[in-house]
Amino acid sequence: MTTQGQAQKDAQHISLQIVTTSDNFPEEGFREFNQHEKLATVLQQAAAKLKLKNTDGWVAKVGDRQLDPAKTLAENGLTDETRIQWAPVERGGGACIR
């Protein structure tokens, strides 16, 4: 039986997975985070666990929507069991005409 306090605590947490070109954090499934935690903190944890050397200029997205690392998970509108794509900014390319 869950108490109101436990239910309130559980409501404060959401499960996320960070997906990069090298690997995922966690590798399988999701990890629980407090929704009031800054996205930057979660991304730093992922970078450390995945041993990513330089993530300067990387962008976190859900679908086509870019997330703001300075905001909390809640402020970014993240919901439970969300997969965040985190990768270097895609550089615009084009046909090279010679």
At residue 77, does pLDDT exceed 60?
Answer: yes
Confidence of residue 11 (pLDDT cuts 50, 70, 90): confident
Return the half-sphere exposure (C-beta side, CA atoms, 13 A cut-off) of residue 14: 22
Domains, the chain, ranges and CATH? 7-88 (3.10.20.90)
At residue 97, does pLDDT exceed 60?
Answer: no
Angle at 90 (CA atoms; ends 62, 73), nearest 5 degrees: 25
Identity of the residue numbered 38: K
This prediction has a pTM of 0.82
The pLDDT tens digits of the residues spanning 12-41 come to: 999 999 999 989 999 999 999 999 999 999
Q: Which two tokens stand for residue 66?
A: 């870019």
The pLDDT tens digits of the residues spanning 41-57 come to: 999 999 999 999 999 99
Contact predicate 69/84, CB 8 Å: no
